Structure formats: structure tokens, C-alpha cells
Amino acid sequence: MPNLFVIYVLFIGLFASRTVGTIYGVVTGLILDFLLGQQIGINAVTLGLIGFLAGVFDKNFSKDSRMTIMLMVFGSTLLVEVLNYLLGYMFSAINVEIMSFIRILAIEIVYNLILTIILYPIIQKAGYYIENEYKGNKILTRYF
């Protein structure tokens, strides 16, 4: 099953800013925690971290390259799922089943990458609109 929330928070952080991405990640994670009935805060921490890292990626990488975006989605999905698994193991009484976790992780990464390839043009147009709204055109002209 694809984790669309990782893609959502990643693109908000990339196109808006580091703080907006972190806030969206924490709020989305808290909503997921309340709806799914898991330990409160695990998804909030991991998605908040993804929003923060996306803001850092914005400064260092190009948003126009599809391959760069796919690598970001790959790394973000991997980080979220591993952290969710480790935090769930530490704070809950879940069993450690490494092979099934790796299988589920691989399937989820492939689904997220396929969805990123399909939705990339739409997300990019919406992202530049969001970027214009949050960051705005802050260039002051010399001549009015």
C-alpha cells in the first residue's frame, strides 16, 4: 500500500519551506495517529522529520529533475518506514519480523515511486503555485 502522506509532506516541505513542511508533517502525523489508533506521536515525529528534511533538500537539490525527486521519495519512504518500525518496536509490544518488514518496505517504495512518476507533472505545477504563495515574489524593483 503506498504511503501518500510521505509524498504529500515531502512536496509541501520542498515547495513551501522547512517550517511549513515540519508543521504539515506533525499535524498530518497526529491526525494519522488518532485515526489509526496507534501510539500517539510516532507518525507525527517521522512525518515532521520528513517535512524538515524536505526544506533542507529544497536548498541543496533541484526540484525540476524527476530523478532527484524520485531519489527523495525513495529515501523519505525508507526513512519513515524504518523509523516507524523502530519506534513502534521501542514503545509498543510488536514482534520483530525482519523479512516481512523488508518485503512490505520494498513494495511500498515501489508503489510510492510509481505514484511519483505518474503524479509528478501535477504535483510540480501545484508545487510552484504553493511556492509562489508562501515565498512570494520578494524581489524589489529599482525602478517603479
What confidence tens digit (pLDDT) does each residue in 44-101 have? Answer: 999 999 999 998 888 788 778 888 889 999 999 999 999 988 887 887 777 778 888 8
143 occurs within a structural domain: no
Which among 139, 8, 10 has a CA at the least distance from the CA of 63?
10
List the beta strands (DSSP E) in the chain. none
140 occurs within a structural domain: no
Total Cβ atoms within 10 A of residue 143: 3
Residue type (1 letter), 37: G
Domain that holds residue 45: 4-133
138 occurs within a structural domain: no
Q: Which helix (H) or strand (E) holds 83?
A: helix 66-91
31 occurs within a structural domain: yes
According to the model, what pLDDT value does residue 2 have?
67
Residue corresponding to grid cell 504511503: 3
> How much of the chain, in percent, has pLDDT values that exceed 90?
35
pTM here is 0.83
120 occurs within a structural domain: yes
114 occurs within a structural domain: yes
Q: What is the pLDDT of residues 117-134, one digit of tens each?
A: 998 889 888 888 888 777
How many domains is the chain built from?
1
142 occurs within a structural domain: no
Which among 70, 9, 11 has a CA at the least distance from the CA of 45?
9
Residue corresponding to grid cell 518506514: 81
